[in-house]
């Protein structure tokens, strides 16, 4: 693989990508002497390329799946670009590119960073590589349930890696994060990542907080399937004095220049040369309107957007042709874990395992942080009598619903809408409506099944393995419907 990354470029599909994913053989033909091979590089050069592989796909085309399946926006009535997503009709021929890039571009290069940093005892890059690899692996495991993991990234040594189950992957990710956090960051061999770190600019305190927050998210994802392990892991985080993110873990330096744009914008607008494919969904808009939430202006530019009922791209409603377009910008950030999400994760953990001792304060910090990210003030919404007042006198389910619904709303910002999709499957929130959103009695913000859905009323829970994997790895598991829940789902 040729290393052609310029550290000043925030490109979302890097030149480090190859057409085969990381568990396959690597290509080494047509080597350009002007660009060194990746194994002649260094963690400082390879890490930013790996980061942008993750950011480009998770914050790009996969974010479109997350946003539609989280009902933040829906397919335009006048086009067909994303109809298969809104109809839950994805096939093995879809998303080959994202799968390949995350393996061959991101994970392959994180592994190089880890191997090289370990050999040099450069524990800053070792921690950064560990966290970003774990983050990327978790997204893949949550999308596919089982993925090549323990035997992957071996090149020609193993062209048919076996697939590991999600829980085994989670357990190993936690162990690897713990190992990285335990290194000697004062060693003379440790270097300052500086500008090669697109997330925190070399601030290792923030990377340690990111590592702990990612562990907290992993443990909370386990609460349904492995409740004892989840509780023990979370309580250990707190008894060890773990600090969590108090700032966004995000890539923010996107520009208007092509190849330096926010990947969601680049995929949906720049690549297609149109701004109108994604329109306001009644699901999200009705919730914002019901609560007089000013963030509606940030997303749609008006307080009374014209909406399309989620998935109704073949509908006959005469207003659909004028439905409001989702506002996007080439300079939007891609958040890996936002500060709002960090607070909501902590709020849930304290609710579950510490009798809710500081849950209300963390919940309120999360709401305010989510408002701040869109240029708004949320203080009146969490005040007594406010639309988002914490239900202190309510049941645990009431409190959990409040936390997760506010997390859902916050994930419409920052291009990681997949997380809202995962959390819906884990917790059941926001709730699913008993009626479609054009029927009297619809409760604003509740999810509705697409009238063009092909899954018999069942919502998607996963992706099917892409053909790029199935056609090349004899160990690929038998295909299951996208409505089959992954191991941690409620």
- State the DSSP string of 76-103: -TT--TTHHHHTT---TTSSHHHHHIII
Cα 317–chain centre separation: 33
* Res 359 pLDDT > 50: yes
pLDDT tens-digit readout, 104-114 = 999 999 999 99
Q: What pLDDT is stored for residue 27 in this prediction?
A: 28
Q: Which domains does the chain have, with CATH numbers?
A: 43-258+330-471 (1.25.40.390)
Comparing CA positions, the residue from 266, 315, 268 lying closest to residue 73 is: 268
Contact at 8 Å (CB) between 107 and 136? yes
pLDDT tens-digit readout, 318-345 = 999 999 999 999 999 999 999 999 999 9
Pairing assessment for the beta strands 334-337 and 249-251 based on DSSP bridges: antiparallel
Tokens 């969601």 correspond to 264
User: How many angstroms separate the Cα of 427 from the Cα of each of 168, 318, 360, 408, 423?
Assistant: 21, 36, 19, 11, 6
pLDDT tens-digit readout, 374-421 = 999 999 999 999 999 999 999 999 999 999 999 999 999 877 899 999
Q: What pLDDT is stored for residue 150 in this prediction?
A: 93
How far is 55 from 387, CA to CA, in rounded Å? 34
pLDDT tens-digit readout, 261-274 = 999 999 999 998 88
Q: What pLDDT is stored for residue 40 in this prediction?
A: 61
How far is 254 from 262, CA to CA, in rounded Å? 6
């Amino acid at each position: 693989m040729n290393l052609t990354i310029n550290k000043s470029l925030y490109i979302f599909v890097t030149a480090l990508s190859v057409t085969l994913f990381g568990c396959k053989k690597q290509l080494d033909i047509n080597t350009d002497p002007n660009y060194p091979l990746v194994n002649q590089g260094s963690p400082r050069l390879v890490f930013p390329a790996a980061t942008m592989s993750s950011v480009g796909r998770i914050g790009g085309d996969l974010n479109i799946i997350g946003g539609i399946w989280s009902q933040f926006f829906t397919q335009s009535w006048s086009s067909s670009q994303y109809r298969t997503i809104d109809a839950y009709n994805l096939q093995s021929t879809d998303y080959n590119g994202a799968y390949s890039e995350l393996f061959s571009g991101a994970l392959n290069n994180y592994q190089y960073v880890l191997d090289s940093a370990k050999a040099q005892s450069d524990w800053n890059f070792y921690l950064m590589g560990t966290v970003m690899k774990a983050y990327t692996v978790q997204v893949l495991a949550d999308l596919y349930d089982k993925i090549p993991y323990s035997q992957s990234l071996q090149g020609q040594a193993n062209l048919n890696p076996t697939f590991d189950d999600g829980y085994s992957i989670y357990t190993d990710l936690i162990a690897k994060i713990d190992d990285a956090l335990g290194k000697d960051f004062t060693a003379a061999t440790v270097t300052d990542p500086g500008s090669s770190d697109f997330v925190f600019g070399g601030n290792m305190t923030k990377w340690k907080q990111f590592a702990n927050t990612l562990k907290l998210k992993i443990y909370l994802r386990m609460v349904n399937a492995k409740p004892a392990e989840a509780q023990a892991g979370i309580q250990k985080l707190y008894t060890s004095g773990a600090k969590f993110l108090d700032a966004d873990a995000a890539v923010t330096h996107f520009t208007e220049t092509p190849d330096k744009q926010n990947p969601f914008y680049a995929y949906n607008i720049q690549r297609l040369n149109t701004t109108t494919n994604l329109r306001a969904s009644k699901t999200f808009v009705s919730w914002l309107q019901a609560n007089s939430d000013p963030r509606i202006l940030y997303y749609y530019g008006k307080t009374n957007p014209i909406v399309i009922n989620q998935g109704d791209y073949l509908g006959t409603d005469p207003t659909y042709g004028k439905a409001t377009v989702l506002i996007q910008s080439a300079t939007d950030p891609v958040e890996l874990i936002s500060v709002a999400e960090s607070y909501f994760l902590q709020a849930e953990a304290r609710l579950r395992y510490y009798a809710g001792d500081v849950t209300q304060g963390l919940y309120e910090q999360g709401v305010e942080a989510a408002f701040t990210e869109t240029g708004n003030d949320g203080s009146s919404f969490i005040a007594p009598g406010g639309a988002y007042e914490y239900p202190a006198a309510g049941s645990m389910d009431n409190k959990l619903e409040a936390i997760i619904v506010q997390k859902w709303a916050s994930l419409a910002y920052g291009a990681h809408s997949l997380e809202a999709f995962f959390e819906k499957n884990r917790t059941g929130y926001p709730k699913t409506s008993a009626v479609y959103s054009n029927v009297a009695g619809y409760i604003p913000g509740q999810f509705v099944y697409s009238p063009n859905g092909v899954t018999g009323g069942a919502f998607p829970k996963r992706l099917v393995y892409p053909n790029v994997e199935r056609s090349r790895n004899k160990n690929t598991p038998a295909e299951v419907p996208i409505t089959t829940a992954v191991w941690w789902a409620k």
